[in-house]
């Protein structure tokens, strides 16, 4: 069970956190893995400023493991590749997907993980610039990548698209108008892809993470983090691997009759806890 040998996966936003965990878990299950991100360790051009304070902080602190993750995957005797890719750049996305098809011969699994998570302000203080940025990355980026891989998956008559949503998209988030809106949009897009993909044996599902102990979350306000933990049934944050294991399952043949779902991996944060 849960054998992905012979499959090729592409994970966006794989430099750290959930994306890195997803890539490693898919490789452990047997897949060859392509990792994309705007940040690479060896990249001399620092484009992090374009994408906001979180990307800048991760770059300045050295929390970028894109190429390291690929090296770890190759040690598992799996093939791996790394591409610098901006999910908002449609031409670049199409170019990378074409290169992956040329290099690996196929593309079976797409994990749309790339997203922003640093725009927090009450509505009247929301940045119009960051609102537009979040729409472009969090929602349109998912559309761009899904559209680019679609013809390949249709031709193969097999595909798995797994999109990263959030409980902010199902519950809302105070001070998170842009983030919540985009993640709710991801869920709607996922359901449409599921309907259109079923006739081609392509499934599309959304993971709905709760509070996960990534580097980005740990860098947040400690008091706010404590409040969020208290909201979960388990009274603790999840681990990136909790998300990765769910993604591996949805990518397998065992999940072939599951499509269009919102899978909460949230520690029960959506329950009435007190």
How far from 202 is each of 84, 150, 198, 250, CA to CA, in Å?
Answer: 26, 9, 5, 11
The residue from 51, 65, 83, 179 that is catalytic is 179
179 is catalytic: yes
State how far the alpha carbon of 100 is from the alpha carbons of 33, 81, 156, in Å: 10, 8, 15
Q: Where are the alpha helices (DSSP H) in 5-126?
A: 17-28, 53-60, 66-75, 90-104
Which one, of 189, 240, 272, 183, lies nearest residue 69 by Cα? 240
HSE value, Cβ hemisphere, 13 Å, CA-based, for 260: 10
Closest by alpha carbon to 83, among 134, 43, 142, 29? 43
DSSP code at position 238: B
Measured from the Cβ of residue 183, the count of other Cβ atoms closer than 10 Å reads 28
**What DSSP state is assigned to residue 138?**
I
Residues with catalytic roles: 179
């Amino acid at each position: 069970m849960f054998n992905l040998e012979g499959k090729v996966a592409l994970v966006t936003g794989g430099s750290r956190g959930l994306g890195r965990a997803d890539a490693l878990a898919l490789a452990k299950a047997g897949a060859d893995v392509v990792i994309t991100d705007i940040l690479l360790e060896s990249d001399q051009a620092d484009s992090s400023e374009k994408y906001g304070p979180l990307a800048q902080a991760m770059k300045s602190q050295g929390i970028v493991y894109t190429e390291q993750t690929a090296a770890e995957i190759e040690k598992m005797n799996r093939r791996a590749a790394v591409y610098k890719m901006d999910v908002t750049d449609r031409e670049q996305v199409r170019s990378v997907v074409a290169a992956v098809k040329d290099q690996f011969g196929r593309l079976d699994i797409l994990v749309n993980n790339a997203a922003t998570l640093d725009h927090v302000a009450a509505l009247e203080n929301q940045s119009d610039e960051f609102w537009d940025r979040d729409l472009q990355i969090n929602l349109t980026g998912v559309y761009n990548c899904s559209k680019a891989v679609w013809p390949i998956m249709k031709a193969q008559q097999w595909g798995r698209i797994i999109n990263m949503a959030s409980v902010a998209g199902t519950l809302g988030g105070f001070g998170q108008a842009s983030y919540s809106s985009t993640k709710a949009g991801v869920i709607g897009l996922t359901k449409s892809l599921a309907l259109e993909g079923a006739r081609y044996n392509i499934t599309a599902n959304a993971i709905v993470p709760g509070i996960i102990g990534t580097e980005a979350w740990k860098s947040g306000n400690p008091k706010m983090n404590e409040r969020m933990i208290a909201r979960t049934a388990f009274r603790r944050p999840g681990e990136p691997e909790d998300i990765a294991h769910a993604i591996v399952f949805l990518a397998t043949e065992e999940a072939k009759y599951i499509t269009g779902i919102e899978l909460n991996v949230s520690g029960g944060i959506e329950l009435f806890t007190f």
